[in-house]
A and B are shown apart, each in its own frame.
Chain A
Amino acid sequence: MSTASVPLPHWINYGLIPLLNLVVAFLISGFVVWLIGESPLDALSLLLEGALGSGEGIGLTLFYATSFIFTGLSVAVAIHAGLFNIGSEGQAYVGGLGCALVALSLDNYVPWYVTMPIAVVGAALFGAIAAFIPAWLQAKRGSHIVITTIMFNYIIASLMNYLLVHVLIVPGKMAPETRTFLEGGQLPKLTWLMEIFGAKLGAAPLNVSFIIALVMCYIVWLLIWRTKLGFEMRTLGVSPTAASYAGVPYVRIVMIAMMLSGALAGMMALNPVMGASARLQVGFVSGAGFVGIAVSLMGRNHPLGIIFAAILFGVLYQGGDWISFEMPNITREMILVIQGLVILFAGALEYMFRPAIVRLYQQFKRG
């Protein structure tokens, strides 16, 4: 029997193997730190101290995690339907436009809790529209979704660049960004949540969108594992031919899955745009869409796993900032190195250790 098909208990499949992949990624990152001439152990302790050592650190970690939960869910929903959405980055960028337009037009008149639901819809709608064309091209014209979503990341970046430089910019200002939203267009911070645990949030921009992200995790779980639509999506993801024989409408499911994915990516914009900076800025997504790929892979495309993986990446981002502050030799881009390694080992080389683990497991069971 080939080692690839030996069933392993859940704790190995969903616990040990991802952990092992993560450890290898960290060991190599540690080697890079050592190469630069710094101590990997010092860097690790700085990382943890910066991310989890203070209320503000935790707040920032969770702030980053919020964005990654949204983009992670976005990637995961598409993957369940067998679609690899590399376009979360662009969809999130356009989502920013959606929620900024809502905030800009309402912030003067209504309080934030009226603006918020409309902004959620706006962001999701714009994100879904951005995913619509690649989805249509995939479903109807057979163009590969990976290629088209990459193309759309760039098309959207150019479009948003144009809008921010020429249309949405505040007249007389140099920076390509919209005006600052008034209080009615800002999401309040979660100071009270941190105070329950006796920690001070400080200047960290952790805000209500964190709760929206958790709610979306639950909704996505319901959708994927508890609805007919979710079942159809998963069937399509496992085998498009089997799905079509079973009467799953290919075009419709592809369109719906991609637009849901785009909507989730779009909602990510709530966090930085309405939660942190209270304005729409050029390039505010800054790679969170791509982090979503790593988060989804680490979290095995399950909402619960995605929450843990998003927090892990939140720790990396916040801790990485802290390291670059304390050890000027190690720049912030060290995060990209770790991220690349995590994607490589947890995603592409997912099964590298599996044969060895299977052998160990079988020996262990026998002996």
Chain B
Amino acid sequence: MDYYEIFISILASTIRLSIPLIFTALAGLFSERAGIFDIGLEGKMLGSACVAYLTDSAWLGLGAGIVCSVALSLVHGFASITNRGNQIVSGVAINFFIAGITIVLGQAWFGQGGRTPQLAPEARFAPIILPGADAIRDVPIIGPLYAGVISGNNILTYLAFLAVPFSWWVLYRTRFGLRLRAVGENPGAVDTAGISVSWLRYRAVMCAGILCGFSGTYLAIAQSAAFIKDMSAGKGYIALAALVFAKWKPVPVMLACLLFGFLDALANFMQGKQVPLIGEVPVQIFQALPYILTCVLLAGFIGVAIPPKAGGVPYTKER
């Protein structure tokens, strides 16, 4: 394989690995910008992956995945908005519950130790070949890039990249977005303006639920064709890291997710390969790198990441 082909294949798997991160990190963006920490991203992703698989149909699966994820968001909202419970605790609870129940039900229904039978191709999101992909495949440089990376992805991939400018538009160019950001910084002011803090925050966590539904669906019926136990494998936490790394801004969120996806792709590629002068690079370094980078960023060594001011604090109306 020549170097360009290797580059193209790593780039293609970077895209594949970044998509669930982008959806999930955007979900976290909506929730945390409204002042609700969401550790439960992981659980929502896993839950919607499981439900999406069960429907045996691509579009129905997406719908069911979103419904499941929004329902979990509402539980999180009920605990942390209405009951003013600890948001971290509630998120942790959701992660545990989903990690357990998907395996228990999966085993009870399919009896394959947490795995499920493969879906038929028509129940999945098929790759979309963009116009002209085959025609320019042999053109040097651009050809493989267009045919191998840009074209041939499924619809959710394109939706993920559309979700980024859309989220930006919602957050920065709509009244809802302005209020959503305000409620994460100063809920008291929003309340004084006569806007319901609770309802605004509920809508924010529902937005998060919808986006997590996309990422879970992507995992189960676009990237693979089955539900495997713990298939989210910490992606929810990586997305959280990406969100912090991107300083809670939509476009940097996408870039951070692509970076973390790239590290993941690189780790897969480097496994067992020798690098000149260094030798074999332990794959664990790539695995730990997103988290290390996030901590370094949090420490303020590469810019400052300032979280929404009211994040994690339940709002109590003054009497």
Tell me the A residues contacting B by CB distance below 8 Å. Answer: 2, 32, 35-37, 84, 86, 133, 137, 141-144, 146-148, 150-152, 154-155, 158-159, 161-162, 165-166, 290, 293, 297, 329-331, 333-341, 343-344, 347-352
Contacts and interface: CB of A to CB of B under 8 A. Distances in A.
A150 B104 contact: no
Contact of A334 (B104, B288, B312): B104
30 contacts: A2-B319, A32-B104, A143-B300, A143-B305, A144-B312, A146-B37, A147-B298, A150-B39, A151-B241, A151-B292, A152-B295, A155-B288, A155-B295, A158-B285, A161-B287, A331-B108, A333-B107, A337-B97, A337-B104, A340-B99, A340-B101, A341-B93, A344-B79, A344-B97, A347-B90, A348-B79, A348-B80, A348-B83, A348-B85, A349-B78
B84 A351 contact: yes
Contact of A335 (B100, B282, B312): B100
Nearest to B291: A151
Given A293-B92, A336-B97, A162 B79 contact: no
Contacts of A341: 93, 97
Contacts of A351: 83-85
A311 B242 CA distance: 38
B240 A143 contact: no
A335 to B, nearest CB: 7
B89 A343 contact: yes
A336 B96 contact: yes
A22 B221 CA distance: 36
Contacts of A150: 39, 237, 240
B253 interface: no
B291 A339 contact: no
B284 interface: yes
Which has the most chain B C-beta neighbours within 10 Å: A37, A147, A148, A297? A147
Interface string B231-254: 000100100110010000000000
Given A154-B237, A337-B100, A348-B85, A146 B39 contact: yes
Given A86-B92, A340-B93, A137 B295 contact: yes
Given A154-B291, A334-B104, A349-B79, 10 more contacts: A86-B92, A142-B300, A143-B299, A155-B288, A165-B284, A329-B108, A336-B97, A340-B96, A340-B97, A340-B99
Interface of chain A, helix or strand or loop or mixed?
Answer: helix
A147 B299 CA distance: 12
B190 interface: no
Contact of A347 (B75, B93, B282, B292): B93
B261 to A, nearest CB: 16
B274 to A, nearest CB: 15
Interface of chain B, helix or strand or loop or mixed?
Answer: helix
B94 to A, nearest CB: 7
Contacts of A334: 100, 104
A297 to B, nearest CB: 7
B81 to A, nearest CB: 11
Contacts of A338: 100
Interface string B65-98: 0000000000100111001111111101111111
A335 B96 CA distance: 9
Interface in B302-319: 305, 307, 312, 319
A154 B263 CA distance: 15
Contact of A159 (B78, B90, B284): B284
B101 A32 contact: yes
A152 B244 CA distance: 14
A158 B240 CA distance: 18
B93 A344 contact: yes
Nearest to A297: B89
B105 interface: yes
A22 B122 CA distance: 44
B89 A141 contact: no
Nearest to B79: A348
A-B complex: 3 closest residue pairs judged by Cβ atoms: A336-B100, A340-B97, A340-B96
Interface string B263-307: 000000000000000000010110110011011001110000101
B291 A347 contact: no
Contacts of B83: 348-352
Interface in B1-58: 37, 39
A333 B99 contact: yes
Contacts of A335: 100
Contacts of A37: 108
Nearest to B305: A143
Contacts of B319: 2
Contact of A343 (B93, B101, B240): B93
